[in-house]
């Protein structure tokens, strides 16, 4: 009874006390939970990106100034050296990451949402690259369509023909240079290599007669324009007087390419049946006829396939020749291999896989003294890179040159074939980039470099004039790493039979 009597009271008491206790405990519990969630979110989201501080906008101003003043390549090295493998800076006031850590570089190259590049729209318009061509085309759908034409032109049957064309062109140019004599000759090597690489591109992709010297000079000015304008502030383009000379340089090459296209069109009209093998220019012209590509895109695409070699390979091979001149023991090894594999005949496709020392040498040269040492991308989606939040729209510079100085290599800061004697996992060495926006010409480029080097080295040994070597010549380190051509960059070609006497 007592129990029965006390039960309602007990029930009442518990009914009042339990919610009170519960509400007292819930508040701190909820608070704790809230704090935990915030902490978790913060720790997930923000490992703060290293780099200079914003500091009322002074940080962005200084970093942008540094890029304009030092050049993209030099400024990227400066920041990676100072802050590590992932750095946040600003270009044009836009957040920009400079990445040299291989895990992060590979992440960006692999993913489909980094297939755009960045750069001043005015600059790209001025040089014809805005939404046209491939190299700095930042419209994903037009870029993708255009890239398929490049991919077709730079693989398959063309790749098979590349070596023969390269050997033929190199021999022709050496003969022209020497005028039939087998004498020691002083050579403006960069100019010489530009002419060869342009001629090979013409033989493979266009096949119309052209004036090499004139086009080479225009290609050089076009490249200077591209690199000078790419990061300029918008205000620069308001003053026509300031960028008039750049506009002219771009226009000159565009006009020359337009003329070549007209010649090609005429030739196609005159030819009754098509050549057995089609080429890049013919494919572009047909694509234009069928309304798949615009005339501007056709002209720009042809322009870009013609400049790709002279802008990259000629300087790469120049650096290789300087390295050969500086390292006679390496030259000896390469030459012995060439002689064992090819004997007295010209190099052929089947030989290439046997020229292992040459391949190691080319790779080590591109690692130690790269020409294309940075590449520029843009994030098209939010993403996490190595634990850092990267927002959509962030600019990205992949610092490949610095990534290639990784401790993985036996002697990262020295030129040594030992760096490639053990096989190097691809993730540590990406001279042509990787993934959907990688260098579409990488196979052709390797074949051309091998073909030019073998053909030249079989006939000549090279000496560098004026005591020039890789360490003491002056460079420009901006869109690419290349010699400053206000200095004399001659080399002497000495015929092998005379050098041995």
Residue 150 as a binder of ligand HEM (CB under 6 A): the answer is yes
Does 163 help bind ligand HEM (rule: CB under 6 A)?
no
439 binds ligand HEM (CB under 6 A): yes
| Token pair listed for 423 | 């096989």
Can residue 102 be called a binding residue for ligand HEM (CB under 6 A)? Answer: no
**CA distances to 161, 168, 263, 302, 398 from 164, in Å:** 6, 6, 25, 22, 34
Residue 129 CB, shortest distance to ligand HEM, in Å, is 10
State yes or no: residue 307 binds ligand HEM (CB under 6 A).
no
Query: Can residue 109 be called a binding residue for ligand HEM (CB under 6 A)?
Result: yes
Residue 57 CB contacts under 8 Å (≥ 6 apart), including other chains: none
Contact between 99 and ligand HEM by CB under 6 A: the answer reads no
Contacting range for ligand HEM; rule: CB under 6 A; set: 121-129, 269-277, 346-354, 370-378: 370-378
440 touches ligand HEM by CB under 6 A: yes
Separation in Å, CA 485 to CA 73, 193, 224, 324: 18, 14, 11, 21
Q: Residue 302 Cβ, how far from ligand HEM at the closest point, in Å?
A: 12
Binding residue for ligand HEM, selected from 111, 113, 122, 147, defined by CB under 6 A: 147
Stretch that binds ligand HEM, among 234-242, 289-297, 304-312, 467-475 (CB under 6 A): 304-312
> Phi, psi (5° rounding) for residue 61?
-65, -45
Q: Does residue number 375 form part of the binding site for ligand HEM (CB under 6 A)?
A: yes
Q: Is 308 in the site for ligand HEM (CB under 6 A)?
A: yes
Q: Which is nearer to ligand HEM, 288 or 363 (CB)?
A: 363
101 close to 422: Cβ distance less than 8 angstroms:
no
Question: Nearest-CB residue to ligand HEM?
Answer: 433
Q: What is the dihedral of CA 232, 238, 244, 246, to 10 degrees?
A: 20
Name the phi and psi angles at 216, rounded to 5: -60, -45
6/333 Cα distance (integer angstroms): 104
63 or 146, CB closer to ligand HEM? 146
3-state secondary structure of 490: strand
- 60 vs 314, which CB is nearer to ligand HEM? 314
How distant is the alpha carbon of residue 251 from its chain centre? 24
SS3 495: strand
Instruction: Kindly state whether residue 432 participates in binding ligand HEM, applying the rule CB under 6 A.
Output: yes
Q: Which of 71, 310, 431, 483 binds ligand HEM (CB under 6 A)?
A: 431
Residue 328 or 393 with smaller CB distance to ligand HEM: 393
Nearer to ligand HEM, 243 or 323 (CB): 323
* Of the candidates 436, 426, 424, 446, the residue with the CA atom closest to the CA atom of residue 166: 446
438 contacts ligand HEM (rule: CB under 6 A): yes
Q: Min. distance of Cβ 133 from ligand HEM in angstroms?
A: 8
In angstroms, give the least distance from the CB of 309 to ligand HEM. Answer: 4
Give the residue among 136, 158, 223, 102 at the shortest CA–CA distance from 448.
158
Q: Judged by CB under 6 A, does residue 103 bind ligand HEM?
A: no
The two structure tokens encoding residue 157? 């049957």
Region from 42-50, 73-81, 367-375, 402-410 binding ligand HEM, contact rule CB under 6 A: 367-375
Q: Are 318 and 190 in contact (CB under 8 A)?
A: yes
Out of 309, 310, 401, 451, name the contact with ligand HEM by CB under 6 A. Answer: 309
Give ∠ CA 188-363-187 in degrees, rounded to 5: 10
In the complex with ligand HEM, which residue's Cβ is closer, 237 or 355?
355
C-alpha closest to that of 340 among 351, 329, 350: 351
260 scored as a contact of ligand HEM (CB under 6 A) = no
In contact, 462 and 493? CB cutoff 8 Å: yes
Work out the number of other CB atoms within 10 angstroms of the CB of residue 263: 15
Select from 146, 111, 73 the least CA-distant residue to 136: 146
Tell me how many residues contact ligand HEM (CB under 6 A). 27
Helix (H, G, I), strand (E, B) or coil at 481: strand
Q: Is 316 in the site for ligand HEM (CB under 6 A)?
A: yes
Q: Which residue is it, tokens 């360490």?
A: 471
Q: How far is the CB of 250 from ligand HEM (least distance, A)?
A: 18
CB of 62 to ligand HEM, least distance (A): 27
Phi, psi values for residue 494, rounded to 5°: -110, 120
Q: Is 368 a residue that touches ligand HEM (CB under 6 A)?
A: no
Query: CB under 6 A: which stretch of 29-37, 352-360, 431-439, 491-499 binds ligand HEM?
Result: 431-439
Interface residues with ligand HEM (CB under 6 A) are: 109, 134-135, 147, 150, 154, 304-305, 308-309, 312-313, 316, 366, 371-372, 375, 431-433, 437-441, 444-445
């Amino acid at each position: 009874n007592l129990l029965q009597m006390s039960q309602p009271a007990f029930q009442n008491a518990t009914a009042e006390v339990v919610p009170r206790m519960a509400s007292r405990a819930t508040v701190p519990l909820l608070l704790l939970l809230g704090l935990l969630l915030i902490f978790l979110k913060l720790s997930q989201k923000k490992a703060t990106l290293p780099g200079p501080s914003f500091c009322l906008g002074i940080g962005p101003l200084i970093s942008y100034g540094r890029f304009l003043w030092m050049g993209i390549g030099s400024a990227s090295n400066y920041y990676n050296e100072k802050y590590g493998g992932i750095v946040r800076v600003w270009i044009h006031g836009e957040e920009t990451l400079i990445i040299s850590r291989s895990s992060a570089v590979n992440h960006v190259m692999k993913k489909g949402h980094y297939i755009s590049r960045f750069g001043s729209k005015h600059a790209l318009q001025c040089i014809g690259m805005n939404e046209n061509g491939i190299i700095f085309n930042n419209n994903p759908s037009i870029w993708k369509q255009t890239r398929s034409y490049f991919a077709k032109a730079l693989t398959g049957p063309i790749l098979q023909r590349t070596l023969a064309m390269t050997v033929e062109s190199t021999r022709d140019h050496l003969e022209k240079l020497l005028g039939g004599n087998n004498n020691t000759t002083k050579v403006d090597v960069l100019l010489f290599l530009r002419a060869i690489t342009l001629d090979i591109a013409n033989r493979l992709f266009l096949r119309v007669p052209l004036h090499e010297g004139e086009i080479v000079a225009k290609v050089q000015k076009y490249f200077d324009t591209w690199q000078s304008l790419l990061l300029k502030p918008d205000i620069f383009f308001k003053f026509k007087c300031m960028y008039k000379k750049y506009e002219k340089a771009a226009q000159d090459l565009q006009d020359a390419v337009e003329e070549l296209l007209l010649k090609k069109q005429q030739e196609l009209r005159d030819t009754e049946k098509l050549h057995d093998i089609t080429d890049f220019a013919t494919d572009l012209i047909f694509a234009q006829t069928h309304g798949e590509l615009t005339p501007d895109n056709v002209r720009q695409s042809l322009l870009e396939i013609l400049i790709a070699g002279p802008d990259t390979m000629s300087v790469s091979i120049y650096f290789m020749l300087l390295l050969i001149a500086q390292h006679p023991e390496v030259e000896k090894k390469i030459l012995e291999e060439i002689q064992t594999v090819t004997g007295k005949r010209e190099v052929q496709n089947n030989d290439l896989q046997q020229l292992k020392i040459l391949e190691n040498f080319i790779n080590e040269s591109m690692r130690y003294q790269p020409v294309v040492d940075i590449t520029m991308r843009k994030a098209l989606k939010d993403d996490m890179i190595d634990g850092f939040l990267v927002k959509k729209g962030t600019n990205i510079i992949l610092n490949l040159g610095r990534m290639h100085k990784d401790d993985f290599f036996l002697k990262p800061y020295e030129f040594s074939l030992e760096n490639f004697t053990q096989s190097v996992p691809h993730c540590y060495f990406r001279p042509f980039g990787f993934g959907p926006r990688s260098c579409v010409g990488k196979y052709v480029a390797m074949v051309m470099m091998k073909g030019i080097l073998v053909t030249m080295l079989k006939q000549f040994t090279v000496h560098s004039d004026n005591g020039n070597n890789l360490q003491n010549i002056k460079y420009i380190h901006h869109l690419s790493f290349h010699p400053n051509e206000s200095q004399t960059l001659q080399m002497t070609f000495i015929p092998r039979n005379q050098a041995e006497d």
